[in-house]
């Protein structure tokens, strides 16, 4: 059985991944509608960085605490 704190972290990281994917898709679908961001590519790069960090956290958690 997975400890509740580990489960909470897993859910938090999965939510972060979903959030970054949704925001990135929004930039792809509606680049004109995102007026406050002057440099679209830099902003999208930042989203990819956040996505990679969240995925890395999730993979690390799974490797050491969930998939035992």
The structural domains of the chain, with segments of one domain joined by +, span 4-66
Span 8-19, pLDDT tens digits: 999 999 999 999
CA-to-CA distance for 63 and 29, rounded, in angstroms?
A: 34
18-26 contacts, C-beta under 8 A, 24 or more apart: 20/47, 20/48, 20/50, 20/51, 20/54, 21/51, 23/47, 24/48, 24/51
pLDDT of residue 40: 83
pTM, full prediction: 0.85
Interval 31-58: pLDDT, tens: 776 666 568 888 899 999 999 999 999 9
Cα–Cα distance for residue pair 58/28, rounded to 1 Å: 25
């Amino acid at each position: 059985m997975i400890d509740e704190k580990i489960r909470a972290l897993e859910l938090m990281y999965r939510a972060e991944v979903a959030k970054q994917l949704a925001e990135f898709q929004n930039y792809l679908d509606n680049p004109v509608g995102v007026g406050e961001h002057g440099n679209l590519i830099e902003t999208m790069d930042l989203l990819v960085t956040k996505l990679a960090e969240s995925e890395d956290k999730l993979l690390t958690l799974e490797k050491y605490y969930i998939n035992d």
